Chains A and B, each alone.
Chain A
């Protein structure tokens, strides 16, 4: 964003700017929202980030973003059955939220209303100059949901935000507030039927003692481009578990930005990237330990086949006040082909002096000894490889404990392996 001497816009950059011009009159929002949108499109005119921008070093967006389809409001996306049985589904079909969506005991508001009345304007815009996902989304965001879970509520049924694209462009926002001591599970589905360009930004705030499990499942079609940004802020004693699985799209940037200003807050990140074909998938985490006794563990497992490229940037900052922080990060990759690539960049910035922080990264192939052992028991090579690859990532899923959830996610794994390995 801060390249001042961009000589010439790329076709994709021009297409984005043109798309904004065309959609401007249809995009919802009051004057405050319009100002944010204008700022955003000005930022886009300076060009998409290249590898010279540190946050985008492994994902040269200017070079990688080549397809920018236009928004087409006539396209129809069909809702899918819920991922987890018994969930309440909040659909966003081709970028439009459901008018009748509601959940007992929870306040659900269509985001379009909050854009129209301007109350959501302050949350829009870039968090820093390199926040291209925030910028892109601010320029085009048209809908989404605001979900407000009151204090003390224990919501047993998972809430599924089902974002289904039908091709074209869709841009959504999902602010979620979880009140003091409340408990809930949220599933974020990013899926669809076309070679769309989607951006989806969520903002989660956990009040004191709240507990939340958030599951992101992205299985966009092979030609799609997906920009995701998950923001969370954790108050005292709150507990967030974020699980993600990337199993689709051609170009993915999934950002995870978590701030822990509350003492004793706990964050668990477990993620799986299943990469095949010529996918480029970048998961970038920015985690701030800002108070005493905050804890976090992050484990990301990647399987890469074909000529796929994967990226994990894991930044953990520990503020001076955040004594007794305990943070552990691991990124493990299994490469199934000679041409597949994975880049891992751990980044620890520690200003407190009494902390336990660690990180580790591994890149391996299938263990020949393990393969021999399984085959020596009569398991054919393809099946044996499948078992070993699945074992590598299934461990992460099994940590979720809820049997029905584990079963559904493992079935997705099996399907991915059957189609891509």
Chain B
């Protein structure tokens, strides 16, 4: 479903290269964990997949269902089923969360040539999904993410993911800033979305998230490259021994 080939990407403004020849394949139905020390390029990878224009791809390609997405803007990618759950969801004053959800869902449906949701059906869907995530419906009447706690923001991200039903989910450190109860709610939400026709890329520092969202594959990122891939045991090994040994090997 996702195939990244020899990807090189740099910060557009400064020209500093962050991703340096990265290769990664994630199949439909697969949950791939991306781990790695700070500064290894994990968040940059998530932004480049989503299409943020602060980064420039200088070499290589990102194929999604066999098609290159590099020329598409973020909205086009999203309409095709790419979703990024942000590490730090943006607070947007003045845009009511419900209004945002409705515009997002209907924009995607329109782009795919599907009928837009009518208001009652939309509200019913939001109520259903938010209840499952323990989100107070009153919170959704507030401006998007404004004044939400860290946990509320992450739940709101997962709510968007459930409502938009993407095919490729990239979760950037979804566990950061969550207490253990919130982590469980979020992980349950993610697990509920696991399906044979959906791929997930889970970026994290910690085993504790991978205890709850058990990955099919684990990839270690260092200096903008995947330096080792394995199954879920690789994450356990890293938890015990740290990155130092692996980095030494790679060097």
Contact = CB atoms under 8 A, between A and B. Distances in A.
A381 B75 contact: yes
Interface string B187-199: 0000000000000
B95 A377 contact: no
Contacts of B77: 376
B51 interface: yes
B92 interface: yes
Interface stretch (B20-28, B99-107, B220-228): B99-107
Nearest to A369: B90
Contact of B92 (A370, A375, A376, A380): A370
A378 B94 contact: no
B164 A378 contact: yes
Given A378-B107, A380-B107, A392-B94, A373 B89 contact: yes
Contacts of B99: 387
Contacts of B92: 370, 373-374, 388, 391
Contact of A377 (B52, B78, B93, B143): B78
Contacts of B73: 375, 381
B50 interface: yes
Nearest to B84: A376
Contact of B94 (A375, A379, A395): A395
A376 B51 contact: yes
Contacts, number: 76
For the complex, would chain A's binding face be called helix, strand, loop or mixed by DSSP majority? helix
A391 B104 contact: no
Contacts of B93: 391, 395
Interface in B58-102: 73-75, 77-79, 83-84, 86, 89-90, 92-95, 99-100
Contacts of A380: 75, 107, 111
Contacts of B89: 373
A370 B100 CA distance: 12
Contacts of A375: 51, 73-75, 78
* Interface magnitude class on chain B: 20 to 34
Interface in A360-384: 368-370, 372-381, 383-384
Given A379-B103, A387-B100, A373 B90 contact: yes
A257 interface: no
A394 interface: yes
B19 to A, nearest CB: 18
Contacts of B78: 375-378
Interface centre among B84, B94, B99 (most CB of A within 10 A): B94
Contacts of A391: 92-95, 143
A167 B108 CA distance: 46
B94 A377 contact: no
B160 interface: yes
Interface string A269-309: 00000000000000000000000000000000000000000
A172 B99 CA distance: 41
Nearest to A398: B94
A102 interface: no
A377 B160 CA distance: 8
A372 B47 CA distance: 10
Contacts of A388: 92, 94-95
Contacts of A381: 73, 75
B164 to A, nearest CB: 7
A390 interface: yes
Nearest to B74: A375
Contacts of B53: 372
Contacts of B164: 377-378
Interface centre among B54, B86, B107, B108 (most CB of A within 10 A): B107
A378 B51 contact: no
Contacts of A384: 75
Contacts of A376: 50-52, 74-75, 77-78, 83-84, 86
Contact of B103 (A370, A383, A392, A394): A383
B161 to A, nearest CB: 10
B108 A374 contact: no
B52 A387 contact: no
A378 B104 CA distance: 6
B48 to A, nearest CB: 12
Contacts of B74: 372, 375-376
Contacts of B86: 373, 376
B165 to A, nearest CB: 11
Interface centre among A374, A393, A394 (most CB of B within 10 A): A374
Given A383-B103, A388-B95, A378 B90 contact: no
A374 B50 CA distance: 12
Contacts of B104: 374, 377-379
B27 to A, nearest CB: 23
Interface string B23-56: 0000000000000000000000000001111100
A192 B50 CA distance: 48
Contacts of A392: 94
Contacts of B103: 379, 383, 387
A390 B104 CA distance: 16
Contacts of B111: 378, 380
Given A378-B108, A378-B164, A394-B94, A372 B52 contact: yes
Interface of A: 368-370, 372-381, 383-384, 387-388, 390-395
12 contacts: A369-B90, A370-B90, A373-B89, A374-B95, A375-B78, A376-B75, A377-B104, A380-B75, A380-B107, A383-B107, A388-B92, A391-B94
Interface of B: 50-54, 73-75, 77-79, 83-84, 86, 89-90, 92-95, 99-100, 103-104, 107-108, 111, 143, 160, 164
Q: Which 3 A-B pairs have the closest CB atoms?
A: A391-B94, A378-B78, A378-B108
Given A377-B107, A388-B92, A391-B94, 11 more contacts: A372-B53, A373-B90, A375-B51, A376-B50, A376-B74, A376-B83, A377-B100, A379-B75, A381-B75, A383-B107, A391-B92
